[in-house]
């Protein structure tokens, strides 16, 4: 296997093989803090950068290095750029070769950056390491290159410490927001459950009142149809007998 490795790969392999771990890292007072998680390395236009979703805690940060322009010497790229230039001369609404070349690069960049933002409640930090992004922000066609939702939230940081502080504040803010949202959701569910129970009790009480009222109405109707004979003599209740005389 080593025979197939290039000279550069061999040097990298030897570097990691001979790397020594500082003694301080094994002690309790180590400056290297234990961290949970992992780092996934991928290339643009690959399956990990375009075909897989890393939603929620599966990914909270995406870092892109450079802008993934296609190989400028590739025959298909050269042919496509020349074709678009010719079509642009005939039909100005067709993008020229340079614009097409830029669109391919930023499309792959947008796809990679969107791996950790997969639904409306998802959140993550996007770090673009390339000076050309800052230079192109003043370009009127920049909105057509990078996604608008990314451009609206761009902030420039030129120092490592400033970047880390901004990331720390961002993560802390989002974690608190998620906690508050979770508590509000739980409180809302509890209120809905309490209202549901209260509604059931009120409905039960209303049914009891309706049944009681119905019983009273039936008693009144019965009393009206059959008046009470209490306190009356029989002769007043029953009509006098009729005598028939035979002639």
Query: 209-218 pLDDT, tens per residue?
Result: 766 666 666 6
pLDDT of residue 79: 95
36-156: what fold?
Answer: Rossmann fold (3.40.50)
Q: What is the mean pLDDT of residues 22-26?
A: 46
Q: What is the pLDDT of residues 43-101, one digit of tens each?
A: 888 888 887 888 888 888 999 999 999 999 999 999 999 999 999 999 989 999 998 99
CB of 85 closer than 8 Å to CB of 96: yes
Q: What is the pLDDT of residues 200-247, one digit of tens each?
A: 666 777 777 766 666 666 666 656 555 554 444 444 444 555 454 554
Q: Which of 130, 102, 109, 134 is nearest to 43 (CA)?
A: 109
pLDDT at 191: 82
Highest mean pLDDT among 26-35, 131-140, 196-205, 220-229: 131-140
Output 219 or 106, whichever has higher pLDDT.
106
| pTM metric for this prediction | 0.60
List the one residue out of 154, 131, 130, 133 whose CA is nearest residue 142. Answer: 133
Q: In this predicted model, what pLDDT tens digit does every residue of 157-181 receive, in sequence order?
A: 888 888 889 888 998 998 888 888 8
Three-state SS for the chain is CHHHCCHHHHHHHHHHHCCCCCHHHHCCCCCCCCCCCCCCCCCCCCHHHHCCCCCHHHCCEEEEECCCCCCCCCHHHHHHHHHHHHHHHHCCCCCCHHHHHHHHHHHHHHHHHHHHCCCCCCCCEEEEECHHHHHHCCCCCHHHCCCHHHHCCCCCCCCHHHHHHHHHHHHHHHHHHHHHHHHHHHHHHHHHHHHHHHHHHHHHHHHHHHHHHHHHHHHHHHHHHCCCCCCCCHHHHCCCCCCCCCC
pLDDT band at residue 133 under the 50/70/90 scheme: confident
> What is the pLDDT confidence band of residue 20, given thresholds at 50, 70 and 90?
low
Q: Which residues pair with 129 in a beta bridge?
A: 65
Residue 18's pLDDT band (cuts 50, 70, 90): low
* Confidence at residue 58, expressed as pLDDT on a 0 to 100 scale: 87
């Amino acid at each position: 296997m080593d025979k197939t490795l290039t000279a550069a790969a061999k040097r990298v392999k030897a570097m990691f093989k001979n790397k020594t771990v500082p003694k301080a890292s094994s002690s309790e007072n180590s400056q290297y803090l234990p961290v949970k998680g992992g780092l996934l390395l991928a290339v643009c236009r690959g399956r990990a950068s375009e075909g897989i979703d890393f939603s929620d805690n599966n990914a909270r940060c995406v870092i892109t290095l450079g802008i993934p322009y296609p190989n400028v010497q590739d025959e298909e790229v050269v042919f496509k750029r020349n074709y678009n230039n010719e079509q642009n001369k005939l039909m100005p609404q067709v993008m020229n070769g340079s614009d097409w070349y830029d669109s391919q690069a930023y499309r792959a960049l947008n796809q990679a950056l969107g791996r950790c933002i997969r639904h409306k409640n998802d959140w993550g930090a996007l770090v673009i390491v390339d000076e050309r992004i800052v230079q192109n922000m003043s370009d009127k066609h920049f909105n057509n290159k990078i996604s608008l939702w990314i451009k609206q939230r761009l902030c420039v940081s030129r120092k490592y410490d400033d970047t880390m502080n901004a990331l720390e504040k961002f993560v802390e803010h989002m974690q608190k927001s998620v906690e508050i949202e979770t508590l509000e959701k739980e409180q809302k569910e509890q209120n809905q459950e309490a209202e549901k129970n209260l509604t059931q009790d009120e409905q039960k009480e209303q049914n009891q009142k309706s049944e009681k009222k119905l019983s009273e109405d039936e008693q009144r109707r019965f009393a009206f149809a059959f008046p009470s004979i209490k306190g009356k003599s029989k002769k007043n209740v029953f009509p006098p007998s009729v005598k028939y005389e035979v002639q």
